[in-house]
Structure 1
Amino acid sequence: MNFPELTVDFKDTCNMLFIAHMPQILGTAVDLRLFDALAAEPMGTEHLARELGTDSDMTLSLLEILREGGYLAERAGDYSLNPVAREFFVSSSPAFQGRVLTAMANMSGLLGNAREIMTQGGPAHDDKLWANEEMMETMLQGGRGGKIQSAAAFIASLPEFSSMRRMCDIAGSFGYFSMGILDRHPEMSAVVCDLPEVAEAAGSYIEKAGYEGRLEARGVDLASGGDFGEGYDLVFVSNYLYEWSLDHRLVDFLKRVRSALTPGGVFVSRHMTLDVRGEDLKSQLIMEYMTRLGGYPTHAISEARLTEALTEAGFCDFTVRKPEDGSYDNTLDIAARVAP
């Protein structure tokens, strides 16, 4: 048998293939309520295995993966939570991301069928995929993990923010971004526009969250040119314009937004971009691949495309926050103004 003379090492790739299983491992730990158990007190392997009803040797292996991954600390045989695990994987935490782990695992299922989809085609994209309560809950949970805080901080940093009184959140589900913005401005009210079935479901969320009277949900079919109102000081849109960015619809939409704003009003776009580097670019390219496997054309907009379309629509005086400047999940934030 003739063995090849190797010119490079397979080690890094081999490690990557194992690390790719981390989302499932984290999901298993969440499903077992391992992080919940350790939130109360540090535990040794035997104690924790009894609490979880699991095999102690397998439990030890799982604990060691989580320790090496930076989610647990170990001292004298007792394991405790590190800040990331306490913040995002304990079910009672306001920033719990359990639903997000499940959603990511479901998305990765596309990769298992990638060859078939690429050669034979896959199911058509469902434009109402996000218009159900389960996905709305998932988006809220994901937003509370940093996206809402990031967007609200960017908008609050704009010089016009203190004088704003009325905003419109376009394609905003039940208004979770609006809620984060309203928290920073007690004199502001908001209208969130989304599909009629989403708006109908949003009412109970808004009331439960304590924003009734300040946040109104309005059913609007944006794709068919539905009216989202006028007289706004701020119009905000997040993760909606990807498909429209590929053709004339982006400029057409932005012209409608400009008409809805008061003189001196501000439009804020929050969308993912491929204008990133390193590990962020790897993550975004994988997101783009899974997006296309799922039947949707793109999940990224470049700064050049947005600023070009905004200028054509009559906006001026841009404020840009690039992903590396503190935004979240490879998001490009752009604020554009209507001339006073």
Structure 2
Amino acid sequence: MPIDLPPHEVAAFRRGEAPAPMLDLIGLMACHAIGAARSLGLFDALAAGPLTTDELAEAVGAAPDGLDQLLGLLRATGYVERRDGRHANTPATAAWLCSTSPVDYGRILGLWQAIVEEQWAGLAAAVRSGTPAGGFYTWLAGRPDLSSAFHDLQRGLAEWLAEEVVSLVPLPEASKSLLDLGGGHGSYAEAFCRAYPGLSGTIVDSAVAERSDGNLTWRAADLLTADLPGEQDVTVLFNVLHGFGAADAAALVTKAAGTLRAGGLLIVLESMSEHRGNAADLAFSAGFSLNLWHTQGGGLHAPDTIRGWLEAAGCTAGPWRELTRSPAHALLTANKVADQS
């Protein structure tokens, strides 16, 4: 919500002299207004140039009076502006909400709106009892439009981070095998195989169709119960552990370590609850962790906790390394210790 509050108004909200929840209420209204605007094709219509209300109404097939009310809220919340009687997208809208934007954040917004409105209904009861509602992937499977947006989001994030991840982690010399646990899109395994031509990747995920494509193979299986291939040179757990509670996440780390040959490399990529990001990044991380807990029974695990799981599984871990492309993500590598018995 790019409202440009003057400093004295910001100060009043911070002092409690103005009702801070009012800003959240406006954000809720704006979220729905953006969804309606996208359904109408309003932002895309304005991407071609400023239009009057009547011209825009004709372009998107809407009644001018209702459209004018919608534009009023979008203008007040910083998503459109009026120039000489014509409406235009603001820079924020052009950058993030048009279908031609480099990142179509409108799909992300729609996904999260549905998650919060539909999946968080029992949040108070879950917090009171300590029992998460769960069922996220069952719910998602029943919403094909949201499922598509969710998986596109996961793939897009992986494609954005993969180049940096590969550059930060040199694989053991002469590595031939890589096991990707939970990376159904295959983007990370593909990036490593592209950087190391002699490498073959196996991707194990419960939500994939079994297939092979060049030096990549997909296998459908539950990570916690499946028999996993052993003697791997490299095994990766990328953005996976946060989907599990502590006990299951620790068990998965142990299973991952068990897939490695002596001296093999285990790589963990995870979102961090505390990181160098700005206030908005940190607030989103807190909401993301709450959502993981409530809808999946997971959460953002502490870096030292993950390190402890690796060491308990017989690995020697290096330092956490923050990514430059995403301040909320960090990498941890660990080598499987040779059996001394």
Shorter-chain TM-score: which interval?
0.7 to 0.9
Q: Is the 8 A contact 1:151 1:270 kept in 2?
A: no
Aligned partner of 1:306 in structure 2 is: 306
Question: Which AA in structure 2 matches 1:227?
Answer: D
1:335 is aligned to 333
Letter in 2 for 1:199: V
Name the structure 2 match of 1:297: 297
Change (3 A) 1:80 1:235: same
**Does the 8 Å contact 1:251/1:312 carry over to 2?**
no
| Partner SS, residue 237 of structure 1 | strand
Q: Give me the whole-angstrom Cα distance separating, in 2, the residues matched to 1:28 and 1:223.
A: 41
- Identify the range of structure 1 (282-291 vs 120-129) with the bigger mean alpha-carbon deviation: 120-129
The SS at the match of 1:309 is helix
Deviates more, 1:60-69 or 1:31-40: 60-69
User: For residues 164 and 68 of structure 1, do their structure 2 counterparts lie closer, same or farther at Cα, with a shift above 3 Å needed?
Assistant: farther
- Could you say if the C-alpha distance between residues 104 and 243 of structure 1 is closer, same or farther in structure 2, counting changes exceeding 3 Å? closer
Q: Which residue of 2 aligns with 1:255?
A: 254
Residue identity opposite 1:282 in structure 2? A
Q: For the residues of structure 2 that align with 1:159 and 1:237, how far apart are their CA atoms?
A: 16
Partner of 1:194: 205
- Matched residue, 1:238: 238
Is 1:56 equivalent to 2:67 in the alignment? Answer: no
The amino acid across from 1:16 in the alignment is D
**Cα distance, 1:272 vs structure 2:** 2.8
CA-CA distance at 1:90 after TM superposition: 3.4
Q: Distance in 1 between matches of 2:172 and 2:93?
A: 34
Residue aligning to 2:8: none
Contact 1:42 1:79 survives alignment (8 Å): yes
- Residues 156, 181 of structure 1: 8 Å contact kept: no
Structure 1 residue aligned with 2:160: 149
Q: Which residue of structure 2 lines up, in the alignment, with residue 3 of structure 1?
A: none
CA contact (8 A) 2:111 2:150 kept: no
2:45 maps to a residue whose letter is A
TM-score, normalisation: structure 1: 0.74
| 2:178 counterpart of 1:167 | yes
1:37 maps onto 2:48 in alignment: no
Any idea what the Cα deviations from partners look like across 1:155-180, whole Å, max 9, x if unmatched? 33223389655322212234344345
Any conservation in 2 of the 1:148–1:176 contact (CA below 8 Å)?
Answer: yes
Cα 1:301–1:51 change in 2 (3 A) is same
- Amino acid across the alignment from 1:141: D
In the alignment, is the contact (CA less than 8 A) between 2:172 and 2:264 conserved in 1?
no
Cα distance change, pair 189–40 in 1 and its aligned pair in 2 (3 A): farther
Q: Deviation at 1:213?
A: 1.7
Q: Distance in 2 between matches of 1:284 and 1:144?
A: 19
Partner of 2:280: 279
8 Å contact from structure 1 (residues 194, 220) kept in 2: yes
Asked if the contact 2:310/2:317 (under 8 Å) is kept, the reply is no
- State the secondary structure of the residue aligned to 1:242: helix
Residue 126 of structure 1 corresponds to which residue in structure 2?
Answer: 135
Residue 266 (1) aligns with residue 265 (2):
yes
- The CA deviation at 1:193 is 0.5
CA displacement, residues 67-120 of structure 1 (integer Å, 9 cap, x when unaligned) = 6656556655351463x6456433356743454333212221244444455568
User: d(CA) in 1 for partners of 2:143 and 2:227?
Assistant: 24
In structure 2, what residue type is equivalent to 1:28? A
Q: 1:41, CA displacement in angstroms? A: 4.0
For 1:120 and 1:253, how far apart are their aligned partners in 2?
26
Instruction: Note the 1:84-95 alignment, pairs <5 A.
Output: 85-86=93-94, 88-91=96-99, 95=103
Q: Which amino acid aligns with 2:335?
A: R
**CA–CA separation in structure 2 for the residues paired with 1:124 and 1:71:** 35
SS for the counterpart of 1:31 is helix
Gap runs ≥5 in structure 1: 1-6, 207-211
CA distance in 1, matches of 2:75, 2:152: 25
CA RMSD of aligned residues (A): 3.8
Output the amino acid matched with 1:242. H
Instruction: Look up the SS of the partner of 1:285 in the other structure.
Output: helix
Q: Does 2:22 match 1:14?
A: yes
> Number of residues paired by the alignment?
318
- Per the TM alignment, residue 229 of structure 1 is displaced from its structure 2 partner at its CA by 1.5
TM-score, normalised on structure 2?
0.74
CA contact (8 A) 2:239 2:269 kept: yes
Paired-residue identity, %? 20
Tell me if the contact between 1:275 and 1:303 (Cα under 8 Å) persists in the aligned partners.
no
The gaps in structure 2 that reach 5 residues or longer are 1-14
Separation of aligned partners in 2, 1:255 and 1:62: 53
Give the partner amino acid of 1:126. Answer: G
Query: Within 2, Cα distance between the matches of 1:145 and 1:174?
Result: 10
Structure 1 CA distance, aligned partners of 2:64 and 2:38?
A: 17
Q: Is the 8 Å Cα contact of residues 136 and 174 (structure 1) preserved in structure 2?
A: no
1: CA distance, partners of 2:174 / 2:143: 34
What CA deviation, in whole Å up to 9, does each residue of 1:134-168 have, x standing for no partner? 36523332135444312442233223389655322
CA distance in 2, matches of 1:258, 1:19: 44
AA matched with 1:175: G
Q: Cα distance, 1:123 vs. partner?
A: 8.3
